[in-house]
Amino acid sequence: MVRARYSRWDDTQDPFGPEVSAGDLLDELSDDMLSGLGAEGALSRLMRRGMRGSFSGLDALRARLRGQRAREQDNLDLAGPLEELRERLDDIVDRERSALSFRAEDDARMREAFLDALPPDVPGRIGELNDYRFVDPEAQRLFDELMEHLREQIMGAYFRTMAEGLRSMSPEDMARFRDMLAELNDMIERRERGEPYDFEGFMQRHGEFFPGNPKTLDELIEQMAARMAAMSRLLASMSPEERAELQALAEQVLQDMDLAFEVDRLGSNLAGAFPEMPWGDPMMGGGEEQMPLSATIDAMERLHELEELDRSLRGDYPGASIDDVDEEALSRALGEDAVGDLRRLKEIERALERAGLVSRDRGRLEVTPKGARKLGERALVRVFEELRRDREGVHEARDAGGLAEPTGATRPWRFGDSGQIAVQRSVFNAVLRSGPGERVRLRPDDLELVEAEQRTEAATALLLDLSFSMPLRGHDVHAKKMALALHALIEGRYPHDTLYLIGFSDYARQMQPKDLAASGWERVYGTNMHHAFNLAGRLLSEHPNATRQVIMVTDGEPTAHLEGDRARFSWPPIPKTIRLTLAEATRLAKAGVTLNVFMLEDSPGLIAFMERLAELTAGRVFLMDDTELGTFVLRDFVRRRAA
C-alpha cells in the first residue's frame, strides 16, 4: 500500500522533486546561454516557457489568467445593478396600480396620476416614492426592503467588509461610523503631510469596523482604495445616462445616511495615497446576467486583481521581480497548482546558485567555471549516447594511449576517467565516510583509480569562429557545445593534455569555457584566421615535446588580417589576407602542428581557400552539418589520441 504524508510548505522542501536536478535546469538553459543570451537571458526565457513535464512558465500562467479574465468579463453586466433596481421598482409600482384599480374613490385616481408622472430614472423614482404611502401593504413592504437593500448595496460598493455589519446599525451606530470615517480621513491627511498619527489608538476605538484586523494604516486603506477604485471604474464604464443615474442614486443614499461628505473626502484621499490604482479606467463587459451593485463591484475588483497579476507576471516595469507576484492572489485566480509552478520558477536561480553552477557578480548572473564544466560534461554524455546509437564510438576503447605501468599511487576518479579501480582504497574511503559499524555503500566520490605512468602529452588549440555569421546561420550553439564537450573530455579523461580555446572574429583571443556562455554576439566584421593561427602557434610552442594539433571551426573564408597590432578587414577578401593566412598556417605545419578544419558552409570562396590550405599544410578539411560537429570532432580526437 502506498502511503503519503503532507506537510505545510516551509521553504525548505525541494520544489522540483527528485526528477529535476540543478544539472537538468542548466541543461534546459544551455542552448539559450550558448546562443548569446547569457545566463540572465536564458533564465528569463526558461521562466517564460517553463520546462515540459516539470512546471509551467510565466507565459502559460498569463494565458490562464487571460482566459479567467475573459470569462469574468463575459459574465459582467455593467448595467445590471440599475436594471435590477428598475425591475424591482416596476414590480412594486405594478402591485400598487393593481391595488388602486379596485378602488373607486378620487384618492385612488390621484394616486394613479402620481404613479403615471414618476420620473423614468431610478434615483428620481426612488426620491418620489420615498414620501409616498402605499395602499398595498405588500408593495410597501417590498419598497422598504428595496430601500434597505439599496443602502446595503451602496455601502457594500464602497466598504465591502463593513456592509454586513452596517445592515442593522442604529442611528447611534451610524453616527459612530461617520465619526470613524472623519477620524480616518484626518489620519490619512496627517500621514500625507508627514505628521505623526495614532493608528493603534484608532484601532482600539474603531476596530469592530475592520474584521480583517489590519496591522498598519497602509494595510487598512489599501483594500478600501481597491474597492473605491473599482467603483470608479464601474462608473467610467457605463454610458453617460447610466453613470448619472448611479451617481445620483449613491449620493442620495449617502446623503440620507449623512455620510456623503466623508465618503467623498475618503475617495479623494485614497486616490492620492494610491495613484497607481486604476481610478476611472473604463472596462468592457459583455454579460447579460444581472448582478446587484455590490456583486458587480466584486467582479470589478477580481478583474483588477487579474490585471495586477498579469502585470507582475509580465514584469515589464522598472525593478520588476518574480517575487512581486502575489501567491495568495494567484491561488484565488488559478488554484494551488499555479502557485506550485510559481514557486518552482522562483527557485530556479537559487537551485543553480546552491549547486555552484551560476553566480551573481555586480548584479549580473553568470555561469561559473563549475557550471561551464557541467555544460561540457552533459554535452559529452549526449555525444557518447549518439556514438552508441551509431554502433561506433569511444566507449569501447577507454584506455587511450595504450597500457601503462602502475606507479603505486592512486588518484580520485573523475567523470570520463578510465583505468583500473583501486579497490582497497575505494572501500577504505567508503568506510571512512560511513563511520564504524555502519553498512558500507560505495559512492562515485569514494572511487579511486590506480595511477599509471604519465601518458604521452597532447596539446590542442581549438579555434572557434565567433563572427556574426555564425549565430546568423545558426551554427554557434553547436560549435560551442562541441568546444565544451571537448574540454570536458580532455579534463576528465586526459588530465595531462592541454586544450586552448581561441575565439576569433576581427581579432583572436584566448577564452575560458565559461566565456562561451556569456551574453552577447560578436557584431563585428572580419574572420581573422591569420591572427587565430598566430595565437595558436604561440600557445602551442610552449609544448615542444607534445603531440600538437589545431582544430578550427568556421563558416567563412578569411576576411581580415593583422597589420601590426591592428586588424584590416576587406570583403571580398584581398590577396594579402589570403597570403598572410596561408603563410601562418604553413608555419604551423612546418613546426609539426596538425591542422584539422571543419567547414560549416560550402561557399565557392571558402572551398577554394580550404583546398589550398590542405594542399600547403597536409592538413585535413571536412565539410559537415553543424549538428554532427560534436560527434565527429570528439570521435576523431579520441581515435587520433589513442593511435
Q: Is the dihedral of CA 480, 486, 489, 492 positive or negative?
A: negative
Residue 79's closest CA among 254, 231, 243?
243
Residue 169: predicted pLDDT = 66
CB atoms closer than 10 angstroms to residue 206: 16
Structural domains of the chain, count: 3
Same domain, 97 and 153: yes
Residue 610: predicted pLDDT = 92
Which letter does DSSP use for residue 169 in this model?
-
- In this model, does residue 138 exceed pLDDT 80? yes
Residue 283's closest CA among 339, 226, 235, 348?
235
Same domain, 589 and 550: yes
Same domain, 96 and 241: yes
Same domain, 147 and 236: yes
In order of 222, 224, 275, 467, the CA distances from 271 in angstroms are 10, 10, 5, 55
Residue 464: predicted pLDDT = 94
- In this model, does residue 389 exceed pLDDT 90? no
Q: pLDDT, tens digit, for every residue of 588-639?
A: 999 999 999 999 998 899 999 999 999 999 999 988 888 888 888 888 887 7
Same domain, 124 and 199: yes
Q: Which of 282, 305, 331 is the last residue of a domain?
A: 282
Residue 611 lies in a domain: yes
Residue 387: predicted pLDDT = 58
In order of 74, 87, 118, 321, 612, the CA distances from 288 in angstroms are 8, 14, 27, 39, 79
Same domain, 440 and 466: no
In order of 49, 53, 56, 336, 343, the CA distances from 63 in angstroms are 12, 18, 11, 16, 18
Which residues constitute the domain of residue 542?
458-642
Tell me what the mean pLDDT of segment 572-588 comes to.
Answer: 95
- DSSP letter string, 324-359: GS-HHHHHHHH-HHHHHHHHHHHHHHHHHHHTTSEE
Residue 267's closest CA among 195, 200, 184?
184
Same domain, 429 and 554: no
Residue 615 lies in a domain: yes
Which CATH number belongs to the domain containing residue 490 in this structure? 3.40.50.410
Confidence band, pLDDT 50/70/90 cuts, at residue 338 = very high
Residue 183: predicted pLDDT = 94
Residue 2: predicted pLDDT = 41
Q: Which of 5-14, 256-265, 454-463, 625-634 has the lowest mean pLDDT?
A: 5-14
Confidence band, pLDDT 50/70/90 cuts, at residue 640 = confident
Residue 398: predicted pLDDT = 36
Q: Which three cell numbers stand for residue 214?
A: 489590519
- In this model, does residue 393 exceed pLDDT 50? no
